[in-house]
Amino acid sequence: MDLGIKGRSAIVCGASRGLGRACAESLAREGVQVLMAARRPDVLEKAAEEIRARTGAVIRTAAVDVTTPQGRAMLLSMLPDPDILVTNAGGPPPGDFRDWDRDAWIRALDANMLTPIELIKATVDQMISRKFGRIVNITSGAVKAPIDVLGLSNGARAGLTGFVAGLARKTVRHNVTINNLLPGPFDTDRIAAVLGGQAKAEGITLEQAKARRIADNPAGRFGDPSEFGDACAWICSAQAGYMTGQNILLDGGAFPGVL
């Protein structure tokens, strides 16, 4: 299936590793010109080089912290009018809510709620005027089924989800969609960090925590980041203009509900 986005431009945040990187690669394979953003220039450039080699796509990099106003300004100066925006940043640390002070909450809100909103604010009106735009926010399966040790993530992402639900109905008339892609357990550095927190809290090893999580999943495995990237590319496709405001779960069936 030709996704009809060859020659489009995209900003992909948190793109040097994990799910963001996979989204960048899947879009690049469709012929999208991708601006990859992440903090560490060496890791980012290495990832970009690998994607260039595999896809032949035009890939640029922005070594910025997207959670800061300066980082976002630099990113947007390199591509002020993307056709596609994938928002993403590292998730907040796991822990006990009794240990989180106001600063910890503000950091989580900045990274996982206010940064995506600022990036949407900076790009959505131009998408509307060009009658094409696809915005995908990488959130978390924890939006639908909160995980206790991820309280900072549960709270911040719920705020973003509520905001998107309203705006996404305003933009779709102009062929600009805004959707959230909710990862369950995917095999990235992030899941190792989260499981490490759970293992510590329960006094078990990381390997035990990992084996338990895999055994609990109906698919009997963690997701491959490429599966996530390809889902993202489809949401960004020309054909996906009638889907907006959705929270799409990719979790191997872990969430047990019907809806």
**Binding to ligand NAD by residue 252, rule CB under 6 A?**
no
> From CA 240, how far away is CA 178, in angstroms rounded?
11
- Draw the binding track, 150-179, toward ligand NAD (x: CB under 6 A; -: no contact): ------------------------------
Q: Is 53 exposed, middle or buried (0-12, 13-18, 19+ CB in 10 A)?
A: exposed
**Binding to ligand NAD by residue 229, rule CB under 6 A?**
no
Radius of gyration of the chain from its Cα atoms, rounded to whole angstroms: 18
CB of 24 within 8 A of CB of 52? no
CB of 72 within 8 A of CB of 117? no
Six token digits for residue 152: 């900072």
Could you say which of 26, 33, 140, 177 contacts ligand NAD (CB under 6 A)? 140
Task: Report helix, strand or coil for 185.
Answer: coil
> From CA 116, how far away is CA 121, in angstroms rounded?
9
Of 8 and 39, CB closest to ligand NAD: 39
Could you say which of 9, 10, 17, 198 contacts ligand NAD (CB under 6 A)? 17
**Binding to ligand NAD by residue 118, rule CB under 6 A?**
no
Of 23 and 57, CB closest to ligand NAD: 23
Interface positions, 30-89, toward ligand NAD (CB under 6 A): 37-39, 65-67, 88-89
Could you say which of 10, 11, 20, 133 contacts ligand NAD (CB under 6 A)? 20
Minimum Å gap between C-beta 92 and ligand NAD is: 8
**Binding to ligand NAD by residue 113, rule CB under 6 A?**
no
Nearest to 33 by CA among 96, 95, 86, 83: 83
The residue range among 1-9, 24-32, 166-174, 186-194 that interacts with ligand NAD, by the rule CB under 6 A, is 186-194
Torsion of CA 136, 196, 255, 238, to 10 degrees: 20
Rule CB under 6 A: which residues touch ligand NAD? 13-20, 37-39, 65-67, 88-91, 138, 140-141, 183, 185-186, 188-191
